[in-house]
Amino acid sequence: MRNIFLFIRRYFHFLLFIVLQILCVYFIVSYSHYHKAAFGNFSNQMTGDINRQYNKVEQYFHLKKSNDSLIIANERLYNLLRENYELPDSLPRTEVDTIIIDSLRQYRSITYLNAKVVSNSVSTQNNFLVLYRGRKAGLREGMGVVDPSRNVVGIITELTDEYAVVMSLLHKDSRISGKLLKGGYTGTLIWDGKLPNLVTLTNIPKSAKPAVGDSVITSGFSTTFPKGLLIGRVEGVYTDPSSNYYKVKLHTAANFYNLQYVYAIDNKHQEAVNQILDKLKKQQ
């Protein structure tokens, strides 16, 4: 208590000046409309700036929750896309019963399943991703995998009940059918193991006219990926003297350095088609 009194006594004049200054400001603001409005604007500006900075800090600590909700929302929106549905065969056929079927009703053929990436490699010859979603969550071997923008990432090769392993597009054994959006020429995508995010589209005939910047999409010739998903864009076109084909270098649309969430593509026709193909292979 003694120190408090000594402090007040020592700085009495300064403290008195501060008190009088506050009173002056109060009287000016209270009895002058101009100063009252100016002070109100200033205080509102200060309050707004403080609240904005507080909201930025608060949003930072809620980023994970926001990302999770966006991934779920994207999955729901992707599953509403028109190309994920198909019309039933409405041709005349003989049936045992006479149940009326609406021939315009659409049936889902493709479903997108979100999954979190828990491991990812880009610097080896054989790059894989590991997803925290497995057989129990509906994933199967052979499913295609895309990033949140529906750019091609790879194909599921192994599964456990809780996890899935994806053969990345940046894998020396990866073989995915791709098509030039302009011209429609189809080839096979391979990776030479050199530069990440740079793959090669082979078997493009020299009659084609690929150009830098052209888009390469999935061809739809397999049940792994539906037609029209973006794989990458042409970065260079090279002539192979030993053949009648171009080697087209692509920059992948998916950013393999920053994959946090992906979507597995569940094509309901995939198993049936694969069974037919396996049966044909055994007969050969």
Output the six-digit token pair for 36. 């009252």
Q: List Cα–Cα distances, 134 to 156, 207, 240, 269, in angstroms.
A: 10, 44, 42, 20
The answer, yes or no, to whether residue 97 has pLDDT greater than 50, is no
Whether 47 and 53 have beta carbons less than 8 Å apart is answered as: no
Whether 214 and 195 have beta carbons less than 8 Å apart is answered as: no
Instruction: Tell me the C-alpha distance between 233 and 18, whole Å.
Output: 68
pLDDT of residue 11: 79
Output 248 or 51, whichever has higher pLDDT. 248
List domains and CATH numbers for the chain. 2-60 (no CATH), 108-283 (2.40.10.340)
209 backbone dihedrals φ, ψ, rounded to 5°: -125, 60
pLDDT, tens digit, for every residue of 189-230? 999 888 888 999 998 988 888 889 999 999 888 878 888 899
Q: In 3D, which of 94, 90, 91, 93 has the Cα closest to residue 104?
A: 90
- The pLDDT mean for the chain works out to 79
The answer, yes or no, to whether residue 129 has pLDDT greater than 50, is yes
3-state secondary structure of 2: helix
User: E strands, 74-224, where?
Assistant: 85-86, 107-108, 110-120, 126-131, 144-146, 152-159, 164-171, 176-180, 186-190, 198-205, 215-218
pLDDT of residue 190: 92
Instruction: Tell me the C-alpha distance between 103 and 13, whole Å.
Output: 93
pLDDT, tens digit, for every residue of 5-47? 777 778 778 888 888 888 877 777 677 766 666 666 666 566 6
Q: In 3D, which of 77, 169, 180 has the Cα closest to residue 128?
A: 169
21 backbone dihedrals φ, ψ, rounded to 5°: -65, -40
Q: Count Cα neighbours of 56 within 13 Å in the Cβ-side half-sphere.
A: 5
33 backbone dihedrals φ, ψ, rounded to 5°: -65, -40
